[in-house]
Amino acid sequence: MKIFVQIIIVIIIGLFINPVNSYAQKKQKAFVDTLDNAFDVSYFLNDLHGFLPVISPITEPAVGYGATVAGIFFIPKKKSKDKKFKMPDVTGIAGGLTENGTWFAGGGYMGFWNDDRIRYRGVFGYGDIKLTYYGTTDRFSKDFSAKFNLKSYFLLQQALFRVGDSRFLLGGKYQLMKTKTSFFNDIDLPGIDPLDFDLTNSGVGFIAEYENFNNIFSPTKGLRVNITYDQYLKFLGSDRDFGRILFFANYYQPVVKNRWIAGFRNESLMSTGDAPFYMKPFISLRGVPAMRYQGKMTSLIETEQEFMLTKRWSVVGFGGYGMAFNSFDEFSKGSSAWNAGTGFRYLIARLFGLKMGMDVARGPEQWAMYVVVGTSWLR
């Protein structure tokens, strides 16, 4: 969920923006790695037992620049006899505001339970989001756009269970959204059901995943393949029945050890039934605003190449291409988008293998800037 990703971003950026909080003043060594004496927040995050208020920028081009204020807790696990590192649980609350009037507030919890045999996510919140609708594929001309306001309460409960001692995970989720939508201009909007303007969407999802990353935050080697089927059902309280099928595969491979990491991403998303317009798939690439290229189906590929300058610093280059279309028969009539860009990364938490940085991306229409924490393809 986007809100949970934002929570993770908040704590890391906040440590840079506000490193002189009271805790840091008392324990400056908490921000120094004893191996290389470099700036590092591993100890600080893993041993933090209090509330940390921080501020983070928002850089999504669909809503404009803004900021998030949050409070985060990292909950470390008890050390085992073998002293093996265990992922801490993370919980927090956050609120944000952007220049176009978008705002949100909510909280989340991510748990790694029973020696990572169970992975749990819980998210709740409210968003008042202002976006632009461009239509699906060739329904409208390239010059068409309509601004709308989406107000939504949302809840997510998700759990994945490891199959034995394997790398396979199976699980499910429940999602609930109460959404009201309004357009700023009174214009004809063919293809949009008036019932889309006030909907309750309630449904369950089924998830199958294989993951053998060497690090879940900023992997440098391994494969993650995920298939998720979401079905919204009237008997669960939804106003209509519809579904979404997601497939994605992310692969990382060292080309030159400790010098060059090649990453590859493939993703496809399809909606079934009578999905509301704001839940139909869109091409999701850096440099391409949310909902800019939309259809009943999307498919994309992207690569990211990372080159290490030192053990801490690296530069990345990336590029991708995506298609949005309404059916396989109309594939040639669909719309497409590309992206390209560059950025940098810094290994900010060696214990977690966590990197952060910033990317500048170009899409078909505009430039965009992104703050990146962990993998660029976090889901």
For residue 331, what is the domain's CATH number? 2.40.160.50
CA 153 to chain centre: 18
What is the per-residue pLDDT for 139? Answer: 56
Cβ 161 vs Cβ 173: under 8 Å: no
Q: Classify each residue of 256-275 as buried b or exposed e, where b means 16 or more C-beta atoms within 10 Å of its C-beta.
A: eeeeebebbbebbbbbeeeb
What is the per-residue pLDDT for 17? Answer: 37
Residue 99 forms part of a structural domain: yes
Residue 85 forms part of a structural domain: yes
What is d(CA 152, CA 125) in angstroms, rounded to the nearest whole number? 8
Domain span including residue 8: 2-373
Residue 378 forms part of a structural domain: no
**End-to-end CA distance of the chain, in Å?**
7
What is the per-residue pLDDT for 18? Answer: 40
> Where in the chain does DSSP place strands (E)?
52-58, 66-75, 89-98, 103-113, 118-133, 146-162, 168-183, 198-211, 222-232, 242-256, 260-273, 297-308, 313-325, 335-349, 354-362, 367-373
Which two structure tokens, joined as six digits, stand for 339? 């992206």
CA 286 to chain centre: 12
* Category of 135 on φ-ψ map: left (φ > 0), alpha (ψ -120 to 50) or beta: left
> Tens digit of pLDDT per residue, the chain (379 long)?
443 344 444 444 343 334 333 344 344 466 787 788 888 877 776 665 545 566 778 878 888 889 888 887 777 777 766 667 677 788 889 999 999 999 999 999 999 999 889 999 999 999 999 998 887 765 555 667 889 999 999 999 999 999 999 999 999 999 999 999 998 876 667 668 888 899 999 999 999 999 999 988 899 999 999 999 999 999 999 999 999 999 999 999 999 999 999 999 999 999 999 999 999 999 999 999 989 999 999 999 999 999 999 999 999 999 999 999 988 777 667 889 999 999 999 998 888 888 989 999 999 989 998 888 889 998 8
What is the per-residue pLDDT for 148? Answer: 92
Residue 307 forms part of a structural domain: yes
What is the per-residue pLDDT for 137? Answer: 62
What is the per-residue pLDDT for 138? Answer: 53
Residue 362 forms part of a structural domain: yes
Strand partners of residue 321: 301, 338
Which two structure tokens, joined as six digits, stand for 143? 């010059």
DSSP 279: G
**Vertex 28, ends 91 and 94: CA angle to 5°?**
25
Residue 232 forms part of a structural domain: yes
What is the per-residue pLDDT for 314? Answer: 97
* 58 closest CA partner among 2, 110, 16: 2
Residue 379 forms part of a structural domain: no
pTM: predicted TM-score of the whole model, two decimal places: 0.85
Cβ 205 vs Cβ 231: under 8 Å: yes
Looking at the structure of the chain, the number of domains it has is 1
What is the per-residue pLDDT for 102? Answer: 95
* DSSP secondary structure string for all residues of 11-41: HHHHHHH-TTSHHHHH-GGGGB-TTT--B--
Tell me the pLDDT tens digit for each residue of 157-197: 999 999 999 999 999 999 999 999 998 876 667 668 888 89
What is the per-residue pLDDT for 82? Answer: 66
Which two structure tokens, joined as six digits, stand for 293? 């290229």
What is the per-residue pLDDT for 26? Answer: 44
Residue 46 forms part of a structural domain: yes
Non-local CB neighbours of 142 within 8 Å, separated by 6+ positions = none
Strand partners of residue 120: 111, 159
Which two structure tokens, joined as six digits, stand for 138? 């060739």
Give the HSE-up count for residue 269: Cα atoms under 13 Å, Cβ half-sphere. 21
